[in-house]
Amino acid sequence: MAIRAKNINIGIKPLDEGLADISEALKAHERGEKVSPRRGVFFENLDAFRKILTEKRLELLHVVKRDKPDTIHELSRLLGRDMKNVSDDLKYLADLGLVSLDKSAHVGEGRRVSPRVRYEKIRLEIAI
């Protein structure tokens, strides 16, 4: 899932509130009402947020946005990190929709994966 927005929302919302939001959207859909898609990533609590969006992963997002590396190898070099760890973090962030992995073929080089961040800011929202 590639997000093409200026900003991406990340929220901390208890599971019961998230499920209630989904339930309301489904009921509105069943009534024939238009339901606007909500883009973003939500976590159940602050601890879950901290475990997933670590400082290293946030730095990775920043370097991808700023430097636009052509390969995972180049990104790992820019970060000074092991390529396997960077690759694992990229796959995880891609599953969350926070980074896209663009695949392309290059003559004589095989397939190339270029990480991309397609938003300008991450906005954090905490329900209280």
Question: Could you tell me if 117 and 103 are in contact, meaning their C-beta atoms sit under 8 angstroms apart?
Answer: no
Looking up tokens 């947020």, which residue turns up? Answer: 49
Q: What is the mean pLDDT of the chain?
A: 82
Residue 2 has pLDDT above 50, yes or no: no
Q: What is the pLDDT of residue 105?
A: 61
User: Domains plus CATH for the chain?
Assistant: 7-126 (1.10.10.10)
**pLDDT confidence tier of residue 3, bands split at 50, 70 and 90:** very low
- Could you tell me which residues are beta bridge partners of residue 32? none
Question: In terms of pTM, does the model score above 0.85?
Answer: no
Helix runs in the chain, H state only:
15-30, 46-52, 55-67, 72-79, 83-96
Q: Which of 21-30, 55-64, 67-76 has the lowest mean pLDDT?
A: 21-30
The mean pLDDT value for 19-30 works out to: 77
Quote the CA–CA distance of 66 and 72 in Å, as a whole number.
Answer: 15
Helix runs in 14-71, H state only:
15-30, 46-52, 55-67
